[in-house]
Structure 1
Amino acid sequence: MNFIINLLVTAGVIVLLAYLMPSVHVKSFWTALWVAFLTAIFTATIGWILGGVLNLVTFFLLESIVGLIVTALMLKLVDKLVSNFKVDGFLPALIIAIAVAIALALVNWARGDNRDDYARLDTAKLQTEQLLASNNALLK
């Protein structure tokens, strides 16, 4: 279900940016959905390998920036493969990647997909407090 929602949000962002940016051309929403699907597949396969290599070069310090660059590169690859989708240049592809990342983060936040992360943080905080309390009891 998350994959379908992510595809729909990504396609919506692509269509919206096609209306806002003169350097992005999409024929229809179905084309944008196909572009979103191909970008997701390529990012999960080719992009994963490319991201791993680039992250090794940056020593994992710029992981999110590398992720955006890899997504932009995958969009340019899809641009070459899909005839009804055109991105003129790398900068518009990077802007699409940033907009998609922000939109997906907002949708995931609104859906409450990060509750498990907060639960893990609360558990870690509780364990740390218990550890500190037991260390203080030993020191007294």
Structure 2
Amino acid sequence: MDFIINLLVTAAVILIMSYAMSSVHVKSFWTALWVAFLTAILTATIGWLLGGLLNLVTFFLLEAIVGLIVTALMLKLVDALVGNFKLDGFLPAFLIALAVAVALAIVGWIRGENEEEEYARLNPKQQTELVYKQV
């Protein structure tokens, strides 16, 4: 369910950015959804390897920036693969990656996906019970 919500949010951001920026061209919402899907798949495969290598170079100090750059590179790769989607340069891809990251963070916050804080508020006995329930 989370994957579908993330895809829809990403597609909406891509479509909104195409209206806001003249250097982003998307034919329809279905194209934006296809771009979101391909970007997610490529980021999970190729981007994961590339992000790992770049994080090793930066000693994991710039992990968020590396994530944005990897997502922007995957958007440029999808630009080359999809005919109805065009990005004029790297900057629009980076801005889309930044907007998607912010939008997904807001959606996650609205949905209450901050499990780490909830886990930290529990006492040790409740934490142990929660871990055993998940296993």
TM-score in same-fold range (> 0.5): yes
Q: CA deviation at 1:121?
A: 2.4
Matched residue of 1:25: which SS?
strand
Alignment match, 1:137: none
Matched to 2:118, the amino acid is A
Structure label with greater radius of gyration: 1
Unpaired runs of at least 5, structure 1 = 128-140
Alignment match, 2:91: 91
- Distance (Å, rounded) in 2 between the aligned partners of 1:56 and 1:89: 26
**Percent same amino acid at aligned positions?**
73
Unpaired runs of at least 5, structure 2 = 125-135
Matched residue of 2:119: which SS?
helix
Matched residue of 2:83: which SS?
coil
Consecutive aligned runs of 4 or more in structure 1 exceeding 6 Å deviation: none
Does residue 70 of the first structure (1) align with residue 70 of the second (2)?
yes
Matched residue of 1:86: which SS?
strand
Does residue 120 of the first structure (1) align with residue 119 of the second (2)?
yes
- Distance (Å, rounded) in 1 between the aligned partners of 2:45 and 2:32: 20
- Distance (Å, rounded) in 1 between the aligned partners of 2:11 and 2:3: 12
Alignment match, 2:22: 22
Q: CA deviation at 1:117?
A: 1.1
Q: CA deviation at 1:13?
A: 0.2
Aligned length: 124
Q: CA deviation at 1:122?
A: 2.0
RMSD: 0.9
Q: CA deviation at 1:10?
A: 0.1
